[in-house]
Structure 1
Amino acid sequence: MRPTSLFDQHPTFTPHPTAPLSQEFARLAQHMGWRKGSHEWRANKRRAYLQEFARHWGEDASRLDVWRRLCADVGVVEGEAGLGSVTKCKKALKTVHVNLVELVDAIRVGRRVRRFRNVAELKAYTNAGKNRVFPRDVAKEDGFVNVLLRVLS
Structure 2
Amino acid sequence: MRNNTTPEWFDQFHDFTYDATVGLKSNFQRLAAARQWGTARKSAQWVSCQTVTFDSVYGTDTTKLEVWQELCREVYIKNPPKSIKGCKKVLGSRNVLVNLVNLIDHRLSGAKVIRFPNHDAFWAYTSKGRKFPLSEAKKDGFIKVLLRQL
Report the TM-score, using the length of structure 1 for normalisation: 0.81
Partners in 2 of 1:10 and 1:97 — Cα distance? 33
Residues 139, 32 of structure 1: alpha-carbon distance in 2 compared, 3 angstrom cutoff: farther
Task: Give the conservation status (yes or no) of the 8 Å contact 1:18–1:108.
Answer: no
Partners in 2 of 1:10 and 1:111 — Cα distance? 24
Q: What's the offset of the Cα at 1:43? A: 2.1
| Percent pairwise identity | 39
C-alpha RMSD over aligned residues: 2.3
Counterpart position of 2:25: 22
1:1-153 alignment runs, 5 A limit: 5-17=8-20, 19-35=22-38, 37-38=39-40, 40-78=41-79, 81=80, 83-95=81-93, 96-127=96-127, 130-141=128-139, 143-152=141-150
Task: Give the conservation status (yes or no) of the 8 Å contact 1:20–1:106.
Answer: no
Residue correspondences, number:
144
Task: Give the conservation status (yes or no) of the 8 Å contact 1:74–1:113.
Answer: yes
Partners in 1 of 2:76 and 2:138 — Cα distance? 22
Moved over 6 A (4+): none
Partners in 2 of 1:103 and 1:34 — Cα distance? 26
> 1:67-89: per-residue Cα shift (whole Å, max 9, x none)?
112112211112xx4x2111111
Partners in 1 of 2:130 and 2:149 — Cα distance? 14
Residues 54, 89 of structure 1: alpha-carbon distance in 2 compared, 3 angstrom cutoff: same
Partners in 1 of 2:8 and 2:140 — Cα distance? 17
Residues 18, 61 of structure 1: alpha-carbon distance in 2 compared, 3 angstrom cutoff: farther
AA in 1 matched with 2:30: R
Partners in 1 of 2:147 and 2:138 — Cα distance? 8
SS of 2:87 mapped into structure 1? helix
Partners in 1 of 2:12 and 2:61 — Cα distance? 24
Q: What's the offset of the Cα at 1:52? A: 1.3
Report the TM-score, using the length of structure 2 for normalisation: 0.82
Partners in 1 of 2:76 and 2:133 — Cα distance? 23
AA in 2 matched with 1:115: R
